Amino acid sequence: MSVKKINSEDQAKEQASGPEPGHMLDVFPSEKLHHYDEPWLGPDIQEFKRNPACLSKGPLLKPTHDHTICVEATAVHEGKIIPYKSPKAKDVWSAEYVKMPFSNFSKYTKKTWHHLELTVNRWDIVVSALKKPCFETSKGLENAILQYNQKYAHVWKFSGFHKYLDQLQFGEQKSLLAIVLPKMAKLALQLPDLCAKPIPLLKRGKHHAVTMSQEQIACLLANAFFCTFPHRNSTQRNSEYSNFPDINFSRLFAIPSSKTFEKLKTIFCYFNTVTENMPKGLVTFQRCCLNDDIQWKRSPYKLTKLHITRKGTIEEQGGDMLQVDFAAAMVGGGVLGSGLVQEEIRFLINTELIVARLFTEKLEANECLVITGAQRYSEYTGYSDSYRWQRSYIEETPRDSWLRRCTEIVAIDAVNFRNPLDQYEAYFLERELKKAFCGFSHRVLPDRQPLTVATGNWGCGVYKGDVKLKALIQIMAAAQAQKDVVYFTFGDSALMKSIHEMHQFLQQKDFTVGRLYNLLEKYSKIDFGGSKARDLYQFIQNNGDSLKGRI
């Protein structure tokens, strides 16, 4: 079978129209539940390593060449958060930094009443539109946004937002229009004071971290909601930010669907929370690159412990572990579009994650994004079409010495397989192993805590990943990183039992990562007549002794 590379541009198009990264196969498939009564298999979850960051004092927060800190670092040592301010602060307008709405380089040409064209600072129009906003109806939001986005007046649609407002009760409408939106507008206009330090773009191949306050994030997200970010409304191939996710909320406003309604409920829950009681903490976003070549064939590492369960979720039961985000290469996937699966749900309930889309370029095959400190704001039920916002979430996770919530999330993107048979090829096997290892390993973050990996059916569903293969890949990557695994099958009891039995078999046969890799490579070379008709796990069990004696 020939090796084919996935067309990344086509994949990006699919993600932009509503990706389904890390689809959970079935949503709690009840027909499978009655086969097995066990809620979990393997060692008890209490035996696994949890986040100890809050129990000890970490290194002092200080800026370095690869870590930008958007607050006064010395104040954090005293438990205070003060936005970075300097009389020498520069108005940066370059390809290496976020182009801020308040920059003097952001110009806007408007027509006067006698048809003359006048060039003005765009921020002045933003201030005029949002300082005393008229949000008496949903049309008020549309009118305000289009004042400084006239180019899109006949392109952008706001039917999703209008219909969302229509289905609210009168009291809810009044509260949103008269209280919440004006508070959000006020927050957005604080941008020049709160975010004076230039925010670097986390570009491909660049190992860099950005730490900012939750108030700064809220301000940036309020600007994203009101669509103020310049040069971020086009994702065409030749556009300046074609390799970045969209950040302005215009696409979300256009979609009149139940998904949009539930997303907006979740987003407004966040803004209602932060405008009433702004959280006082920090969040770190770190792009990590793994440049080492891993010799998988000769890896001597033995498999680590595995707890597998059909109940619970990564963000709940795995909350104090290293939590895997089944990411799209454009982080956040379809969170501002029509997507509403694992990654999009995580970005909604931990709303601060959305700001990563402002400065994170598309992830490469050897990269991941690690987010430390993102707070959760919402409770929910369901998945995809059945997703429903429930209520606000009271976050009780303690903070570390940098005043970050002790929550570590890693975004790793799987390959979207047009032809599912490609995933068994050595090229893709190594790609997925390296991606997962990058997400799990201390090599990319030397000071990383030795946390258990909390994960699940990564890259399956519409990405067409073989869930049994993807489970093994993550188990192998975790073993290489010397981390245990807690695996959530999201209601699938048969899958829980199957993965557990395979893990037991491999441990009983004293498999190393290298020996398992060689067996998977052997499997990839077998011609099954156009399909992988033979079960992968059955093949491993039947051939488990064939490579005995080899690493």
Q: Is residue 292 part of a domain?
A: no
Contact of 18 with 338, CB cutoff 8 Å:
yes
161 and 211 together in one domain = yes
345 and 465 together in one domain = yes
Question: What is residue 177's DSSP assignment?
Answer: I
Residues with catalytic function: 325, 343-344
Q: What is the DSSP string of 182-228?
A: HHHHHHHTTHHHH--SPPBPB-TT--EEEEEEHHHHHHHHHHHHTT-
Tokens 């601060």 locate to 352
Res 1: pLDDT: 39
Tokens 């027509």 locate to 111
Domain limit, last residue, from 267, 286, 305 = 286
71 and 45 together in one domain = no
Contact of 256 with 341, CB cutoff 8 Å:
no
Q: Is residue 3 part of a domain?
A: no
Task: Give the span between the Cα atoms of 75 and 151, in whole angstroms.
Answer: 43
Res 548: pLDDT: 67
Q: C-alpha distances in angstroms, 272 versus 264, 265, 281?
A: 12, 10, 17
250 and 301 together in one domain = no
Q: CATH no. for residue 505?
A: 3.40.220.10
Q: Is residue 291 part of a domain?
A: no
Q: C-alpha distances in angstroms, 59 versus 65, 70, 339, 374, 447?
A: 16, 18, 39, 20, 9
226 and 78 together in one domain = yes
275 and 368 together in one domain = no
- Identify the CA nearest to 284 among candidates 214, 345, 223, 226: 214
pTM over 0.85: yes
Q: C-alpha distances in angstroms, 369 versus 35, 134, 324, 434?
A: 38, 39, 10, 14
Number of domains in the chain: 2
103 and 46 together in one domain = no
244 and 339 together in one domain = no
31 and 98 together in one domain = no
12 and 39 together in one domain = yes
User: Which tens digit of pLDDT belongs to each residue from 143-157?
Assistant: 999 999 999 999 999
Q: Is residue 547 part of a domain?
A: no
124 and 141 together in one domain = yes
Res 536: pLDDT: 92
Contact of 254 with 246, CB cutoff 8 Å:
no
Neighbours of 494 (CB within 10 A): 15
Task: Give the span between the Cα atoms of 215 and 515, in whole angstroms.
Answer: 49
Domain limit, last residue, from 232, 261, 286 = 286
Q: Is residue 2 part of a domain?
A: no
Q: Is residue 548 part of a domain?
A: no
Res 109: pLDDT: 83
Two tokens at 355?
């700001």
Ramachandran area for residue 312 (φ above 0: left; ψ -120 to 50: alpha; else beta) = left
Task: Give the span between the Cα atoms of 409 and 327, in whole angstroms.
Answer: 11
Task: Give the span between the Cα atoms of 440 and 477, in whole angstroms.
Answer: 7
Res 531: pLDDT: 62
115 and 243 together in one domain = yes
* Domain ranges, residue 175: 67-286
Q: Is residue 341 part of a domain?
A: yes
Q: Is residue 549 part of a domain?
A: no
Res 30: pLDDT: 36
**Consecutive 10-residue averages of pLDDT for the chain (551 residues):** 38 39 37 60 93 70 94 94 84 95 91 74 96 88 95 95 96 96 97 96 96 98 98 88 97 96 98 98 97 94 98 94 97 97 97 98 98 97 96 95 95 95 94 97 81 96 93 98 97 96 97 97 82 79 77 60
